[in-house]
Amino acid sequence: MTSLPSAATSRARTVIYNMEKNGMRNIAALALAVLLMFALVGCQQTSAPPATTVTTDITASNTPITSSTPITPGAPDIGIAMPTKSLPRWERDGADIKYQLEAKGYTVELMYADNDLATQNSQIEELIAKGCKVLVIASIDGAALDSVLAEAKAADVTVIAYVHLLTNTVNVDYYVAFDFFRYGGLQGEYIEEALGLKDGKGPFNIELFTGAPDDANVMAYYKSAMAVLKPYIDNGQLVVKSGQIDMIDIATIGWKSEEAKTRMDDLLAKYYVRDKLDAVLSPNDSVALGIIASLEDAGYTEFPIITGMDCNKPNVIAIKNGKQSMSVFADTRILVAEVVRIVDAVMTNGEIQHTGIGLQSAFSMFDNRRKQVPSFLCEPYVVTADNIQEILIDGGIYTEADIDM
């Protein structure tokens, strides 16, 4: 399992985050410098162990990145295009980026697309037409925006892909995200350990889910999870009774809970009327909620291993109550801080330096099939019932009252 950030480090990040919100940037900068010194030491003690080896498209570079688009200092508009408000993390991330940029004096417009690609495309066009100089885009379908991104390029707009990589386009400048090559690996390793697969235990029944087939991160997730689980499927320790293993067969359209529930209902009815289901690989918390709802409807009171990602409040409650086993967590406050820092550097024509806090120690170049995109990747952690207090409560994500259900 991955090592966990100390409660002290989490609290320090929270203090700095709150300082930024309150406009105390000079003090926050000093605090950040102190935290950097501790982070360098802490990395030796709490860094996550390497995941199962997966071939990736990431290469490291220690060269600082300089803004390629000269922009006159001041307060021109910044546009933020988020996919939906239906998941709390997107609503929270959009609001946090907007708040912090406005605290720096920028004019910001934030839009949510209700998970509708045509709406998001129109919103991005609108933000370009309004004169935004920087766009922060968490895309619904990262491969479907090349045309509108070309409009952004023609208008000299800097584009930052947030969490979801913008693919099949040269018109993206930066990428800020979690390390999705770790997510699947961490979930696979959790199942491996919980079932004792390394010790030769089995056979166990498992079903597999991934996210939206049009999300560029899903392939990275799938490859890293299967790098851990596929050998056990091949040797018979893990049995997929449905036979549904290929990524296209286990995808969940839109990452929607309803889609996951419908598929889980079908799997239970066809394959698990008499046989026990031991584990479900779920890519994120939204999918996990659909799986849990299906199991509840089928009368389950003892739940199989169920993985997740995001540590949304309903899922943390489910973990406490024994319905979900774990969720992979990456502190989105770190991602938000990276986005704000990059935007500020672009707007002031400054050099974009890597902070090193909670992120890989060097820049990464991520291949989006058309170009190598300068990327900032945040390390994730495993949250279980045993460390909710340390990671989420001591870290300032939730209060005890938030998840006391």
Same domain, 223 and 291: yes
Choice among 5-19, 81-95, 212-226, 238-252 with the minimum mean pLDDT: 5-19
Q: Are residues 135 and 146 in the same domain?
A: yes
Residue-wise pLDDT tens digits, 18-65: 444 444 444 444 343 333 333 333 333 333 333 332 323 333 333 344
Query: What is the arithmetic mean of pLDDT over 257-271?
Result: 98
Q: What is the pLDDT of residue 34?
A: 38
The CATH number of whichever domain residue 140 belongs to comes to 3.40.50.2300
Question: Residues 202, 303: one domain?
Answer: yes
Tell me the H-state helices in 53-87.
none
Q: Residues 6 or more apart from 316 whose CB is under 8 A from it? A: 327, 383, 388, 392, 398, 403
Asked whether the beta carbons of 125 and 151 are under 8 A apart, the reply is yes
* Together in a domain, 315 and 351: no
- Residues 6 or more apart whose CB falls under 8 angstroms from that of 285 comprise 308, 309, 310, 311, 312, 314, 315, 324, 327
Instruction: Round to whole Å and give the CA distance between 59 and 64.
Output: 14
3-class DSSP string for 193-225: HHCCHHHCCCCEEEEECCCCCCCHHHHHHHHHH
Q: Are residues 128 and 202 in the same domain?
A: no
Residue with tokens 């994120």: 284
Amino acid code (one letter) for 120: Q
Same domain, 198 and 312: yes
Domain assignment present for 257:
yes
Query: Which one-letter DSSP state was computed for residue 390?
Result: I
Phi then psi dihedrals of residue 400, to 5 deg: -60, -35
Give me the residues paired with residue 351 across strands. Answer: 66
Helix, strand, or coil (residue 81): strand
Residue 19 forms part of a structural domain: no
Question: Is 323 found in the same domain as 186?
Answer: yes
* Listed residue (106, 104, 115, 107) closest to 138, CA to CA: 115
- Containing structural domain, residue 167: 61-179+330-381
Q: Which two tokens stand for residue 21?
A: 């919100």
Q: Is residue 3 over pLDDT 70?
A: no
Does 202 lie in the same domain as 100? no
DSSP string, 251-304: --GGG-HHHHHHHHHHHHHHH-SSSPP-EEE-SSHHHHHHHHHHHHHTT-SSPP
Who wins on pLDDT, 120 or 22?
Answer: 120
Identify the CA nearest to 241 among candidates 268, 259, 262, 220: 268
In a domain, 2, yes or no: no
Round to whole Å and give the CA distance between 375 and 151.
22
Residue 123 lies in a domain: yes
Do 150 and 172 reside in the same domain of the chain? Answer: yes
Return the CA Rg of the chain. 21
Query: 317 with 193, same domain?
Result: yes
199 to 189, 195, 208, 224, 387: CA distances (angstroms) = 13, 9, 22, 21, 25
377 or 313, which is more confident:
313
- How many structural domains does the chain have? 2
pTM above 0.75, yes or no: no
Tokens of 205: 């029944």
Residue 273 domain-assigned? yes
- State whether 253 and 118 are in the same domain: no
Q: Which residue has the higher pLDDT, 399 or 358?
A: 399
Confidence of residue 354 (pLDDT cuts 50, 70, 90): low
d(CA 51, CA 49): 6
In a domain, 281, yes or no: yes
Question: Domain check: are 198 and 131 in the same one?
Answer: no
H or E, element range at 232: helix 216-234
Q: Let me know if residue 371 belongs to a domain.
A: yes
Q: Which amino acid is present at 14?
A: T
User: For residue range 150-199, what is the model confidence (pLDDT) as tens digits?
Assistant: 999 999 999 999 999 999 999 999 999 888 788 899 999 999 999 999 99
> Among all chains, which residue has been given the structure tokens 């004096």?
105
Reported as a single tens digit per residue, the pLDDT across 57-95 is: 333 333 344 444 444 444 448 999 999 998 888 999 999
